[in-house]
Amino acid sequence: MKALILAGGFATRLRPLSCSRPKTLFPIVNKPLLQWIFERLAQGGVDEAILAVNALTQFYIRQHKLSKCGLKVRFSIDPPKMPLGTGGPLKKAEKLIGHNEPFIMLNGDIYADINYRELVEAHRKSGALATLALCTVEDPCSFGVADLQGNVIKRFVEKPPKGKAPSNLINAGAYILSPEVFAYIPEGRAVSIEREVFPKLAEEGKLCGHCINGLWIDIGKPQEYLEANKIVLDSISNSIKRQNPASFSLKNPVALDEGVIVGEKSVIGPYAILGKNVKVGANAQISNSVIFAEAQIADGAILNGAIVGEGAKIGRGVKLLKGCVVGDLAKVKDSVHLHEGAVICPAKEVTETF
């Protein structure tokens, strides 16, 4: 079975961290999201993954040298300066996907525990042209909400006002599609599969839904990205519970990648995720934060609810609180206190508190 992974968007809401990596390569508990996706697809019986990307995303993905988990991996590249949206890349990949059998399509920016075998089975049984994985959320008001009759999706109601949502089920960004769907997508231009293709299928009664129960997280915005890391860390924390070392204190759950060094009397955790070769000085405190690889946190720094980009340098006594995002290679000088939600561009030097 083949799977098309959409990964050629610009991830504008995740700037500045997405200036230097596509969303699908953001680490989730120190493993690129795309690696989690490959693992799950391989478990689900997929043998070929086609990555729908732009040229720059292809470059970053190749550079990362992910384990392919036994999958054959191919690229389908949007034309230069012409992003194809969420439907155009599907039409572009038509020849690579072929017309032999149903296939999976999924957004490369979701972390989801999807049982693909079950989803495929639901698709075969329903006889629909598209079967969408549906996920239950507490408050569906900021999503497209499915109006279901049995397993048939009648329509999606976009961002309904409170109390007016037809269900709590939203599009989880993973689909099983039959090759007949290609006929519904215009060629050579950007197409939104959600707005242009699914409504047509729904009108014709050819759109079905299948509820998924496992973890489902979209990493669209920095706070969601941070939350995704915490939820996944929670879900795997038993397997990575670490002993308290003598010189500093660990408050589980934490994840420390290889090469991490922590100075005396520092307190790491709860919910501290430190990437490869991160160096933390003495008397520092890091909680509810994700620190990308090669970053350095100096003595006495306090980080709570922050994201620190790759190779960034956080000075002595610096305070980074909830929602602070420090871009790759940025430097925050000693004693600077950043207010909640402060965002620092990549490679910028911050010398004053603001």
Q: Which residues bind ligand GTP (CB under 6 A)?
A: 6-13, 23, 52-53, 78, 83-86, 89, 107-109, 220
CB nearest ligand GTP: which residue? Answer: 9
**Closer residue to ligand GTP, CB minimum distance, 45 or 79:** 79
Closer to ligand GTP at the Cβ: 76 or 252? 76
3-state secondary structure 38-95: HHHHHHCCCCEEEEEECHHHHHHHHHHCCCCCCCEEEEEECCCCCCCECCHHHHHCHH
Smallest gap from residue 266 Cβ to ligand GTP (A):
34
Question: For residue 271, what are its two tokens?
Answer: 């919910």
Output phi, psi for 345, to 5 deg.
-70, 155
DSSP string for 106-121? EETTEEE---HHHHHH
How many C-beta atoms surround the C-beta of residue 62 within 10 A? 11
Residue 11: name the closest of 216, 217, 221, 170 by CA: 221
Residues belonging to the active site: 159
Q: Which is nearer to ligand GTP, 125 or 221 (CB)?
A: 221
DSSP letter string, 301-336: -EEES-EE-TT-EE-TT-EE-TT-EE-TT-EE-TT-
Q: Regarding beta strands 249-250 and 152-158, do their DSSP bridges make them parallel or antiparallel, or are they unpaired? A: unpaired
Query: CB of residue 24 vs ligand GTP: minimum separation in angstroms?
Result: 6
Toward ligand GTP, which CB reaches closer, 51 or 260? 51
Closest CB to ligand GTP among residues 133, 278? 133
Question: Can you tell me which residue has the tokens 């598209």?
Answer: 130
Instruction: Quickly tell me which residue has 């693909």 as its tokens.
Output: 116
